[in-house]
Amino acid sequence: MNNSIVNVPEPVNEPIKDYKPNSPEKDSVLATYKNLKDSKTDIKMWIGGKFIESSKTSNMSPPHDHKHILGKYYLAEKKHVEMAIKSALDAKEKWAEMRWEERAAIFLKAAELVAGPYRDRINAATMLAQSKTIFQAEIDAACELVDFLKFNVFSMQHIYSQQPKSDSGVWNRLGYRPLEGFVYAVTPFNFTAISGNLPGSAAMMGNTVVWKPSDHQIFSAKIVIDIFREAGLPDGVINAVYGDPEMITNTILESKHFAGIHFTGSTSVFKGLWKKIGGNIENYNSYPRIVGETGGKDFIIGHKSADVDEFVTAVIRGAFEFQGQKCSAASRVYVPNSLSKKFFSKLESEIAKIKMGSPEDFKNFMTAVIHEASFDKLVNAIENAKTDKDAEVVIGGGYDKSKGYFIEPTVIKTSNPKYYSMETELFGPVVTIYEYDDNKWDETLKIVDETSEYALTGAVFCEDRYILSDAVNKLKNCAGNFYINDKCTGAVVGQQPFGGARGSGTNDKAGSYLNLLRWVSPRLIKEVFVPPKDFKYPFMG
């Protein structure tokens, strides 16, 4: 038995590799991409440490080459979900009783595996499954996942060390128990790092988990599973099932041992889950924790004092990187009249330089959107804007799904600040711009605040400090992550804890101690060393 009080390593953010032309890292990741592309991978469910097949499968294809088959995955039946719940419950006691340093070691090892031997595989799988360029894959699947794992371990130690005061003759101790029961993690397609973090952070705090990844990310989720296994995660601590989200969720929510949900995805799905949990509340052993990070309608507003080159660069990177499929992507922009001419001319000439195609070609800045339903929804919005009286497509507006789901970077200009695409999350490379009167800055800030149900990210470009500090205050409730003279995407774990309020989620800040606190149930132990032997108090004479 080691009786020391240990310190975990101080985390630093994982350095981002460049993948420059002729670099060894470029050759290496491309070779892995080619291997994985032709691998015909068979992905089984992961339950109780075993890989489980079912009678039904579904194919996986890269969004930029949808006729190509990467492999198949097995779809859960109700009995598989029940098996996963049982495995999580069976694994619970041993895992919860394990010393926290041992849990930390497993996740620190996972971080090193991502950063080193698995880096190419997890990046290449993300390029194929979610159609990310190498840079977008690197900052997500490699760097952000490493950061989540390392910073969470550090936060876990920080939480466990928080202790109450003790009076003389008394010792108060606070223990941080995992939740009673199991946690359900539901992850979106768009970040491989999130797919590892949602089940991983709850498990790190001593919980066992049933995890349902998005159907459109299973190819890269499997690499996360391989990493957890190699890092030594015991059987049954995390169990992965795939397929029908309704059936899987209903089966999970029927269990009285359901202790919490760690969700990231769209707002409507999260609201539906919250209602179902509320409807079942009498059935549970405790009040389930409900943590959800959801949609956004993220804005950039430029003041007349803004630097136009900086403003335009932020709009292009914020709106079009990863085809606008980040929850934080800029999708509504406010431009003052006085900058409008210069702004649109620069925006057009810069967008003309954007290349789009397969992520295999590193010259491409953009690739395809995730699936046909997303493509069709975006096309519909673009076509409507072409005919609507209060909107016009001023840049882009083309699309083609013959090989992959490609949508051109598209700019809609509207005269109506409440136009459909100013309010609704489209989740694609479409940004809508409203031009406002320079003299109506205050009114425009109010419009920014009141336009959508979301409050995830937002940015202001402004060189006037009085105006800036006023705007930061006036916009305080419309973004959980607010940026000054920067794009509204690209939050880094440990630096910009991420999450939004209003319709954008419970704002529990993934990758920070605030999130990890949701996965523990503190227990206070008070010990009195010399207890009184007489019930009477002095005031009673």
DSSP structure string for 413-434: EES-TT-HHHHS---SSEEEEE
Respond yes or no: is residue 463 known to be catalytic. no
Cα separation, 304 vs 316, in Å, equals 19
Nearest residue to 210 (alpha-carbon basis) of 278, 258, 266, 140? 258
The one segment of 58-66, 96-104, 146-154, 182-190 that binds ligand NAD by CB under 6 A: 182-190
Closest approach, Cβ 113 to ligand NAD, in A, equals 24
Task: Tell me which of 189, 211, 311, 482 binds ligand NAD, using CB under 6 A.
Answer: 189
Phi, psi of 144 (to 5 degrees): -70, -35
Q: Which is nearer to ligand NAD, 207 or 515 (CB)?
A: 515
Task: Tell me which of 64, 119, 121, 212 binds ligand NAD, using CB under 6 A.
Answer: 212
Question: In which element (H, E) is residue 454 found?
Answer: strand 454-455
- Give the length of the chain: 541
Cα separation, 145 vs 201, in Å, equals 11
Nearest residue to 292 (alpha-carbon basis) of 40, 518, 466? 518
β pairing state of 399-400 and 406-407: antiparallel
DSSP structure string for 473-517: HHTTTS-SEEEESS-S----TTTS-B--EETTB----BTSHHHHG
Cα separation, 68 vs 123, in Å, equals 19
Half-sphere exposure of residue 146: CA atoms within 13 angstroms, side-chain side: 21
187 part of the interface to ligand NAD, by CB under 6 A: yes
272 part of the interface to ligand NAD, by CB under 6 A: yes
425 part of the interface to ligand NAD, by CB under 6 A: yes
503 part of the interface to ligand NAD, by CB under 6 A: no
Q: Determine which one of 293, 321, 408, 425 is catalytic.
A: 293
Place of tokens 């957890």: 228
Which residues, at least 6 apart from 291, have a Cβ–Cβ distance to it below 8 Å? 260, 261, 262, 263, 506, 508, 515, 518
Task: Tell me which of 148, 151, 191, 441 binds ligand NAD, using CB under 6 A.
Answer: 191
Closest approach, Cβ 10 to ligand NAD, in A, equals 26
198 part of the interface to ligand NAD, by CB under 6 A: no
Which amino acid, one-letter code, is at 222?
K
Q: Which is nearer to ligand NAD, 264 or 451 (CB)?
A: 264
201 part of the interface to ligand NAD, by CB under 6 A: no
298 part of the interface to ligand NAD, by CB under 6 A: no
CB 454 within 8 A of CB 297: yes
Residue nearest to ligand NAD (CB): 265
Respond yes or no: is residue 327 known to be catalytic. yes
**464: its two tokens:** 């006037």
Q: Which is nearer to ligand NAD, 103 or 222 (CB)?
A: 222
Q: Which is nearer to ligand NAD, 274 or 284 (CB)?
A: 274
Closest approach, Cβ 514 to ligand NAD, in A, equals 13
Task: Tell me which of 32, 61, 208, 249 binds ligand NAD, using CB under 6 A.
Answer: 249
In Å, what is the CA distance from 98 to each residue of 118, 487, 516?
27, 43, 18
Task: Tell me which of 32, 123, 155, 190 binds ligand NAD, using CB under 6 A.
Answer: 190
Closest approach, Cβ 155 to ligand NAD, in A, equals 17
The one segment of 52-60, 245-253, 465-473, 528-536 that binds ligand NAD by CB under 6 A: 245-253
Q: Which is nearer to ligand NAD, 206 or 296 (CB)?
A: 296
491 part of the interface to ligand NAD, by CB under 6 A: no
Task: Give the SS3 label for residue 336.
Answer: strand
327 part of the interface to ligand NAD, by CB under 6 A: yes
Q: Mask: binding to ligand NAD, 50-79, rule CB under 6 A, as x and -? A: ------------------------------
The one segment of 44-52, 292-300, 310-318, 356-364 that binds ligand NAD by CB under 6 A: 292-300
Q: Determine which one of 14, 77, 321, 327 is catalytic.
A: 327
Task: Tell me which of 52, 89, 269, 492 binds ligand NAD, using CB under 6 A.
Answer: 269
Q: Which is nearer to ligand NAD, 135 or 454 (CB)?
A: 454
In Å, what is the CA distance from 22 to each residue of 19, 59, 103, 434, 498?
8, 34, 40, 43, 35
- Binding positions for ligand NAD, rule: CB under 6 A: 186-191, 194, 212, 214-215, 245-246, 249, 264-266, 269, 272-273, 293-296, 327, 425, 427, 456, 498, 500, 504-505
Residues marked active site are found at 293, 327
